[in-house]
Amino acid sequence: MTAGAGAATVCTMANEQTLIRMQQVMLRYPTGKTALSGITLDIPRGQFVYLVGESGAGKSSLLRMFYGGVRPSSGKLSVQDTDMREAGESRIRELRRHTGIIFQDHRLLFSRTVFENVALPLRVQGWKTERLIPRVRKVLEYVGLEDRLWSYPEALSGGEQQRVAIARAMTAKPAVILADEPTGNLDIETARRVQDYLMDLNRQGTTVIMATHDLQLLESHPGRVIQLHAGVLVGGDA
């Protein structure tokens, strides 16, 4: 093998192992507020990453950039080999099909059953009903809600609603799960159970990036810590 060929192989392997790459990324909203400034960061595939920092530090803005909810104002951001500044809307939609998103407020469809909420990502991908049903049943069994298949979200507790959100996020077997304060409104015991599910998904190979203000989780469920303050990286393992 020539030296050039060897270098190319190493480069390809490095790209395959890097899920997210950021170089001097800035995000400025139309209001003029700078949410993120000068962020340079690599996140390899398979990591469990905590984003920590005070309210307004930029955690949610960073997660939104990772699924194309907002685009960087400057700098370079690559997510799953997609240039997030240059990608068209069709490519962003395709990226989201490989991304599970969990919000603090669940964002479930209250006019749809638990089954329909969890099935939604698969329907978007065009799954046939006969293939879809066993997959939805399997993920609901995983989060302990197989008996609530035809319930509506309003009949569930807050912890159960968050477990439905986790099931929905994982149903299409995404490469990455982005979780924005998923335990923020839960009691301690339920929060730990939700965290256990996310850690287990990570052990199965899914990259998990989670914004949190609950620093106790970092002790009971260790992971890589990235700390933000006023839109810049200030500590952790960045």
207-218 tens-digit pLDDT: 999 999 888 888
- Does the residue 114 lie in any domain? yes
Full residue range of the structural domain in which residue 143 is found = 46-71+81-236
- Does the residue 232 lie in any domain? yes
pLDDT confidence of residue 5: 40
- Does the residue 104 lie in any domain? yes
- Does the residue 121 lie in any domain? yes
> How much is the pTM?
0.88
Helix (H, G, I), strand (E, B) or coil at 207: strand
DSSP E strands: which ranges in 125-190?
176-180
- Does the residue 179 lie in any domain? yes
- Does the residue 97 lie in any domain? yes
CATH number at residue 124: 3.40.50.300
Helix (H, G, I), strand (E, B) or coil at 61: helix
Say what percent of the chain tops pLDDT 70.
92
Phi and psi at residue 157, to the nearest 5°: -75, 170
Q: What domain count does the chain have?
A: 1
- Does the residue 206 lie in any domain? yes
pLDDT, one tens digit per residue, over 103-129 is 888 889 999 999 999 999 999 899 999
pLDDT confidence of residue 238: 65
- Does the residue 14 lie in any domain? no
